[in-house]
């Protein structure tokens, strides 16, 4: 019984120590998984982590492995996004010009590439097997509790 309570306490304490940004990121990943599942992808793994990087979601469709990076942007539709956008009243008008995928800097792509190679080696996936790198951007509107998704597939890393 003590082990159960210790494990339960550890899980609770991890949840309590998550930052707001981490909580928003998890919500975005959950939405991305549902989005992919509705489109026929099978989720194989989430948050494949190594000390040099993390793959948010690993999915498969039509015998092609997809490594998915999720970028989540949270926004309150009732508030302005920035001084240059005081009249913003909805997610669409503000976020169409903002490109979170631009935050995939060369060092981030290098880390992702290394993590993908590690995944392929650990799972004994052959070099001739097809795989792709995709990016999903989730725009969350906190006020309306709605999400807008942008799916960028087969990105070159």
Q: How do residues 100-112 score in pLDDT, each as one tens digit?
A: 777 778 888 899 9
Of the options 3.40.1350.10, 2.30.30.760, 3.30.70.20, 3.90.700.10, the CATH number for the domain spanning 20-152: 3.40.1350.10
Instruction: Concatenate the DSSP letters of all residues of the chain into one string.
Output: -HHHHHHHHHHHHHHHH--HHHHHHHHHHHHHHHHHHHTT-EEEEEEEEETTEEEEEEEEETTEEEEEEEEEEEE-TTS-SSTT-TT--SHHHHHTS--GGGG--HHHHHHHHHHHHHHHHHTT--TTS-EEEEEEEEEEETTTTEEEEEEE-S---
Q: Where are the domains of the chain?
A: 20-152
Whether this model's pTM surpasses 0.85: no
pLDDT, tens digit (0-9, with 9 covering 90-100), for 114-141: 999 999 999 999 878 999 999 999 999 9
pLDDT at 79: 47
* Band of residue 156 on the pLDDT scale cut at 50, 70, 90: confident
């Amino acid at each position: 019984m003590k082990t159960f309570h210790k494990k339960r306490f550890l899980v609770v304490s991890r949840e309590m120590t998550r930052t707001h940004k981490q909580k928003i990121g998890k919500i975005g990943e959950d939405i991305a998984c549902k989005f992919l599942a509705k489109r026929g992808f099978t989720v194989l793994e989430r948050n494949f982590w190594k000390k040099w990087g993390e793959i948010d979601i690993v999915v498969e469709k039509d015998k092609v492995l997809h490594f998915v990076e999720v970028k989540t942007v949270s926004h309150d539709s009732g508030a302005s996004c920035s001084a240059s956008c005081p009249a913003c009243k909805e997610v669409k008008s503000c976020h169409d010009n903002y490109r979170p995928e631009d935050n995939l800097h060369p060092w981030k792509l290098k880390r992702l590439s290394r993590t993908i190679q590690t995944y392929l080696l650990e799972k004994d996936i052959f070099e001739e097997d097809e795989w792709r790198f995709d990016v999903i951007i989730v725009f969350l509107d906190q006020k309306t509790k709605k999400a807008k998704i942008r799916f960028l597939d087969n990105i070159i890393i």
